[in-house]
Amino acid sequence: MIKSIQNKSVGKLQFLFPNNLSEMNIIESFEVPSLTNDQLWGSHNSDKSTDFPGVLKDFWDGENRISVANKRKPHAFYDLMLMETNLINRPSICDLSYTTARKIMFKTYQFVDFISKIKNIIKFNLDNGHLHIVYNFNHLPDRTSAMSVNKFHIHLNYWPKSHLDKAKVSNIKKNEKLINLLDPTMFLASEIMNHMISFEKFKFVEKKPYSIDNYIQNNSPIGLELKLIGGWETLKSNKFISLLFFIHKKLMSLDLMFNYVFTGKSSYPGEWERHQLVCPAQFERNIELLRLPKELENKITLLHKSLKNLDYEQLKRLKSKPYFFNKHVIIKALNYSVSIYSPYRNSLRNPIIKSDDVRLLIQVKKFSSSGGAGQTFFPGLASLVNIERGKTFFNSKDIKQRHEFQQDFIKFLEKYE
């Protein structure tokens, strides 16, 4: 049964990979220690009215609650989340009120400001470290989700230089097994987004020229990349929230459009279901309506030919084999991440807040449910970094330093309330 769907695996979709993939730098395993349950609850300062166990502080926006949260399995040494923690689940940026979304992004900006303060760079050994801000969206009722909780949350991750120096970088030329970490549809989705999404109405962003060769040569992340012309200050603006809302709606529209091109259906299938693929002749008629460049159209056509229909009995059997299901069965709905970062490191000489090169990166995947925090990137070092969590635990010294960092940040936020 498993062999019958091997044509959906990475091996059968290698035509989606770029020609210079072998030069791509990857960090196969970057370990980040975890906290014990006692350590997590020991840092819990909330009234515990939320169902997430790591909340450190609640801020209220009228009836809406924004929480600063710790995690039992962080993605970085200095790691926090900003979450919308009302009882009703609101997983997408567009599910939030405009005001709540703006307040979350303002607090995100404040985190950048906090780690850029000279006294904090010195106190917490932040010099020459890397900052990554990211949120995910997906709806994956029949597979493991990258979202630890089905509420909108944004990851604030920071790796000190001492941790980055321990990274073991390799490339696919030296270790072909690294290819298994890659979702081949991420490359195709990047091309589609770059061709089909226009940002002309957003005068404060500049779409970076798409060149997969340059991304790999420069150890840059793969996706659609925008430069925020106003730098980090842009995060505080109404227009930035409008951009994030636009991105979600546009990606949802494109995902449903390709769902129709491949299956002839205008809606997503139910749980543990997949729509049947349209016949090749109908697919050809559907794809022609998009008027894509021929090279891009050919790649999408090859993807359609490489996929195989799964009936109810096959899906039922795979249901008991989640590893194979996640590896071989396509994600039926939208699955993306949005990262905000600078390619430069934060330093005493050049605090990151002053950087005039701030970028927004969109990544879409149709097989891997790994989010933008679990599979991250270190600019200039590796285009993909696979974060390994839960293998070791922080020692008491690290717990104390992390706690002090988190509490200092909360005090910093409270000044603006």
Rounded Cα distance between 344 and 380, Å, is 9
Confidence at residue 3, expressed as pLDDT on a 0 to 100 scale: 28
pLDDT digits (tens, 9 = 90+) for 348-372: 999 999 999 999 999 999 988 889 9
**What mean pLDDT value characterizes the chain?**
90
User: Side chain identity at 230, as an amino acid letter?
Assistant: G
**CA distances, 196 to each of 7, 205, 255, 260, 305 (Å):** 28, 16, 12, 16, 22
Sign of the dihedral defined by the CA atoms of residues 223, 108, 53, 393, in that order? positive
Rounded Cα distance between 317 and 306, Å, is 21
pTM of the entire structure?
0.94
* Structure-model confidence comparison of residues 250 and 47, the more confident one: 250
What mean pLDDT do residues 124-140 have?
Answer: 94
pLDDT digits (tens, 9 = 90+) for 189-200: 999 999 999 999
Band of residue 44 on the pLDDT scale cut at 50, 70, 90: low
Query: What are phi and psi for residue 171, nearest 5 degrees?
Result: -135, 165
Q: What 8-state DSSP symbol labels residue 93? A: G
